[in-house]
């Protein structure tokens, strides 16, 4: 379902394209809501050299307004009464680059719905991440580990083909109620074959022993070979009493 404001936004796009019926140069209308609740509209400009989509025209229209407020929601509608359509790949990337928090109204199996632009780009390229001093790295965890990390009983994680670097990090736990983030510092990266993992490694990872750890790794990485190399990522966070910042842990193979 969509809100009343979003319903009005859809209607604005539909009304605009309906007024332009029969014009092959303008077959898509877009409407966007800014943070003050004002609606900006625009039409695509068809040309054999690939003229701009309606969503991009709306970005320009909004930028031309006096306040230049950020856009919060956008929708596009196709002519001929064909209703709401999703943005193309280029528009998705541009929308994310300009307004990473914007929502997009799309058709779902249950009717119109509003989704974050990131949902339309699950593996988005974020140019901002390439800038010097960009945001800290994110390390993702199953939410079941959140309590152990907070309590300081889990001070490491084992990663396979999942690059992590030393330094500040955000440990992200993807819960049903949204992401929970714990600020941390990655202090040591240690390469080791799975068959060489020890009870000490298991305890630092929040498990009772090596056997429990290996069983869990098999669940996370089905069929992984015993000679596969994994990375032991040691970390600390402000509320943790554990500290592996000095030296490399001694790990005995069993």
Catalytic residues: 55
Residue 235: count other Cβ atoms within 10 Å of its Cβ. Answer: 23
**Beta bridge mates, 137:** 169
**Beta bridge mates, 233:** 157, 189
HEC assignment per residue over 61-74: HHHHCCCCCCEEEE
Whole-angstrom distance, CA of residue 24 vs CA of residue 137: 47
Distances (CA, A) of 179 to 114, 131, 141, 143: 19, 24, 10, 9
Whole-angstrom distance, CA of residue 123 vs CA of residue 172: 16
Whole-angstrom distance, CA of residue 233 vs CA of residue 13: 50
**Residue 88 CB contacts under 8 Å (≥ 6 apart), including other chains:** 53
């Amino acid at each position: 379902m969509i809100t009343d404001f979003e319903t009005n936004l859809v209607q604005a796009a539909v009304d605009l394209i309906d007024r332009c019926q029969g014009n092959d140069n303008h077959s898509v209308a877009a409407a966007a809501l800014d943070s003050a609740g004002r609606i900006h509209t625009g039409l695509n400009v068809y040309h054999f050299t690939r003229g701009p989509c309606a969503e991009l025209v709306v970005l320009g229209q909004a930028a031309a307004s006096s306040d230049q407020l950020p856009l919060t929601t956008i929708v596009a509608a196709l002519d001929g009464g064909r209703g709401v359509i999703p943005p193309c790949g280029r528009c998705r990337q541009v929308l994310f680059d300009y307004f990473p928090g914007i929502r997009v109204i799309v058709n779902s199996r249950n009717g119109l719905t509003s989704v974050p632009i990131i949902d339309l780009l699950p593996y988005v390229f974020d140019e901002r991440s390439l800038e010097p001093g960009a945001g800290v790295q994110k390390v993702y965890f199953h939410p079941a580990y959140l309590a152990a990390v907070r309590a300081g009983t889990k001070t490491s994680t084992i990663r396979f083909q999942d690059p992590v670097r030393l330094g500040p990090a955000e440990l992200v736990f993807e819960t049903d109620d949204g992401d929970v983030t714990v600020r941390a510092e990655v202090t040591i990266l240690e390469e080791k074959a799975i068959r060489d993992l020890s009870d000490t490694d298991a305890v630092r990872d929040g498990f009772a022993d090596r056997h429990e750890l290996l069983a869990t790794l098999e669940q996370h990485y089905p069929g992984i070979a015993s000679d596969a190399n994994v990375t032991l990522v040691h970390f600390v966070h402000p509320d943790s009493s554990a500290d592996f910042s000095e030296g490399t842990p001694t790990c005995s193979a069993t």
